[in-house]
Amino acid sequence: MERSPLAEWLDQIVCGDALELLPRLPANSVDLVLTDPPYFLDKLDNEWTPERAARRFYKSQAVFHLPPGMKFDPNQGRRMYEWYLEVSRELLRVLKPGGFFFSFSSPRLFHRMACAVEDAGFHIRDTFLWLYTQNQPKAMGVAHFIERMPLSEHTKQSLKERLSGWKTPQVKSCYEPIVVAQKPYEGTFLENMLQYGVGLFHTEVRIGQNMFPANVLLVEGVEETLDKYFLVPKPSVEERGAFNQHPAVKPLALCEYLIQLAAPEGAVVLDPFLGSGTTALAAHNLKRRYIGIEINPEYVAIARQRLQHFTPSLFGEC
Ligand SMILES: C[S@@+](CC[C@H](N)C(=O)[O-])C[C@H]1O[C@@H](n2cnc3c(N)ncnc32)[C@H](O)[C@@H]1O
């Protein structure tokens, strides 16, 4: 029997740079891409490491303890666009016609991500909005900057009083957009589905109280009406594991929901920025095949542990 050119990749977590590894995947072989790439906010770009993300000391700045994602740089979006355009071109090549590409993003750089995906050749079909209520507000007051100004104590004090309550322009971020892109399909939707097994949404997948799938999603109960329409059912398995120290673990329920919507049982789900392995775990739970790529060996180890069985690397250990 002829071996599929994808066989050696299936149910593997491969350690390496997605941009180097994706070109090795066969064209038109993957059913769904679900990924949560680096958001390109400061310290969270495509070269992030746990050490770098944890390093919070900027000696040249007045404020030392800036958590990842706080520092504003207008070039972050441009850098993300250029990098994600290259990534998206490869994903377009490996996806089957009509295959979906779900990409998490940040409210601030979502526009750049969506343009990169579209410019690579995908059709943008929708945007999911994952809503949540808890997050750390990132706005900073100005008192410590005033403190460092060469002014008299009296002037500093009156400036602080005048600007009391005024902070950097960042409200609490309470949603993440998820781009819904589709590789152009061949013929009609139906013809494409019959030929490649992808291209339609399985709308019997329900959210809330037996509701038709919507593009607003919640994974924590918030309020009766919202929950009724938008709450994604929780999977039964344990979420992340105590050993999982990844700083950006996505909810398993969300990944399971998205996979069920766009890829039938047995389908191949690719995550080129696997992190701690949530996409792979979701695919595995739902009897889909997974391919995970992750650049950081520590996260690869966590992902493999979450999958609870060791999947030897195709390309040796990092
Ligand atoms: C936002 S995290 C993914 C988190 C994941 N969804 C989870 O639930 O654990 C993005 C991941 O992309 C990885 N990464 C960054 N640049 C990469 C690259 N060029 N190739 C592969 N992985 C990369 C980072 O190490 C990080 O773990």
pLDDT of residue 65: 47
pTM, full prediction: 0.87
Q: Which atom in ligand 1 lies closest to the alpha carbon of residue 47? A: 16
What is the rounded CA–CA span in Å between residue 276 and residue 16? 14
Domains of the chain, by residue range, sit at: 7-136+172-307, 142-171
What is the rounded CA–CA span in Å between residue 51 and residue 60? 19
Between the alpha carbon of residue 256 and those of residues 46, 69, 239, 280, 317, the distances in Å are 25, 27, 12, 10, 29
Q: Which atom in ligand 1 lies closest to the alpha carbon of residue 296? A: 25
CATH architecture for segment(s) 7-136+172-307: 3-Layer(aba) Sandwich (3.40)
Q: Is the pLDDT of residue 220 over 90?
A: no
Ligand 1 pocket list (CB less than 6 A): 17-19, 36-38, 46, 48, 246, 248-250, 273, 275-276, 278, 293-296, 299
pLDDT tens per residue across span 72-112: 777 888 999 999 999 999 999 999 999 999 999 999 999 99
CB of 283 closer than 8 Å to CB of 10: no
